[in-house]
Amino acid sequence: MRKLKASELPEVRELWWLRQGRRCGLCQLDLKLPDAVMDHDHNTGACRAVLHRGCNALLGKIENNHKRYGVPQVGAFLHGAATYLSKHAFPPADPLIYPTHKTAEEKRLARNAKARKARAAKKGSA
C-alpha cells in the first residue's frame, strides 16, 4: 500500500479508466475521460474505481449522510434500493397516484397561472 502523489493521479485515473473498459465503476455506463474521477473510501483513503463525477458525488452524499437519516448499514440500503427500484420500474396497470403528485401538464398550467398573476401585478403597479 502506498499513497499516490497528486501528480500521479491523472495517469492512474486514465489507466484505471482503460482497465474498466471506459465504463463507470458504479453505473457501468460509458464514461468519457474528462468526466472521470477517482473514487476513494473516505475512511481508509483506498482508491476503489473511476466513476462519473455525478455518480461519485451522489455516492459520497449517501456514504457521508446515511446515519443522519437513520440508515445503519449503507450497503444493505443500496442493495435493497437497487432491488426495490428494479421491481417498481414500471407502474402497475391501475396505479394509485400520490395526492400531491402533479403531472407535467398540471405543472405547466400552474406556471402559466403564476406568470399571468405576476404580469397582472406588475401591470397594476405601473
CB atoms within 10 A of CB 90: 7
Per-residue pLDDT, 91: 84
Pairing of strands 47-52, 36-40: antiparallel
Residue 114: predicted pLDDT: 96
pLDDT in tens, the chain (126 residues): 899 999 999 999 999 999 999 999 999 999 999 999 999 998 899 999 999 999 999 999 999 999 999 999 999 999 999 999 999 988 888 888 889 999 999 999 999 999 999 999 988 876
- Domain segments of the chain: what residues? 6-77
Domain 6-77 class in CATH: alpha beta
Strand (E) or helix (H) holding 120: helix 104-125
pLDDT of the residue at 42? 87
Other CB atoms closer than 10 Å to residue 25's CB: what's the count? Answer: 20
How many degrees, rounded to 5, is the angle at CA 101 between CA 96 and CA 104?
115
Tell me what pLDDT residue 123 has. 87
